[in-house]
Amino acid sequence: MNRNICVFAAASCNVDKVYRDAARETGMYIGREGDTLLFGAGNGGLMGVCARAVHAHGGKVVGVIPQGLNGPGVAYPDCDELIVTVGLRERKAVFDVRSHAFVALPGGFGTMEELLETITLKQLGVHRRPIVVMNINGYYDSLLTQFEVGMRQSFAQEECRELYHVAADVQSGFDFLNQIFTKED
């Protein structure tokens, strides 16, 4: 399909196997579709697992890393393209310009910050691309509950639920993306 799927994910290697399996499955879907992974360029954690799976299934990998993080062994060494930016804001600008869809696997503060900014930009009309929150093993339950609290207490409108799609597993997340992409074609 030749789409760029931006994946936000943990750099940590010390996470449960269920999350590594989801990252591997995400990479498999991207690779099998002939799509490109656009990601934070990490060699470790869920980022590295996903990138290796994309390559194992025939896809391409584009990493985007700030120069301050680009130390020895940090970036995935087999990126088809490695973009080194000045900082995190420039990295996110590359994601914004080049992505056809956004997928948030479980991750830490950086992953959540990227997810929230992407949702906010969609709310403001800066983009209309699909955002999938991969709620593997209920990882994002508390965050999603907070979103609901915000809507109930009128800090966000009820329509904000339409800004993102929550998937309990990788298969349903990519089924959703495939439906969106089919409508666009």
For 40-86, how does the pLDDT look when each residue is reduced to its tens digit (9 = 90+)? 999 999 999 999 999 999 999 999 999 999 989 999 999 999 999 99
CATH number of the domain residue 172 falls in: 3.40.50.450
Helices (H), the chain: 17-32, 45-56, 88-98, 109-123, 141-152, 170-184
Distance CA 54, CA 81 (A): 14
Tens-digit pLDDT profile for residues 76-124: 999 999 999 999 999 999 999 999 999 999 999 999 999 999 999 999 9
Beta bridge partners of residue 83, listed in sequence order: 64
Distance CA 80, CA 149 (A): 42
Print the domain residue range for 83: 4-184
Please say whether the beta carbons of 36 and 59 come within 8 A. Answer: yes
Quote the number of domains for the chain.
1
Concatenating the DSSP letter of every residue in 116-136 gives: HHHHHHHHTTS----EEEE-G
Task: Name the band, by pLDDT with cuts 50, 70 and 90, for residue 1.
Answer: low
Q: Where is 39: in which H helix or E strand?
A: strand 36-39
Tens-digit pLDDT profile for residues 20-31: 999 999 999 999
Beta bridge partners of residue 102, listed in sequence order: 6, 131
Beta bridge partners of residue 36, listed in sequence order: 4, 60
Distance CA 108, CA 135 (A): 13
In this predicted structure, the answer to whether residue 183 has a pLDDT above a threshold of 80 is no
- The pTM for the full model equals 0.96
Task: Name the band, by pLDDT with cuts 50, 70 and 90, for residue 172.
Answer: very high
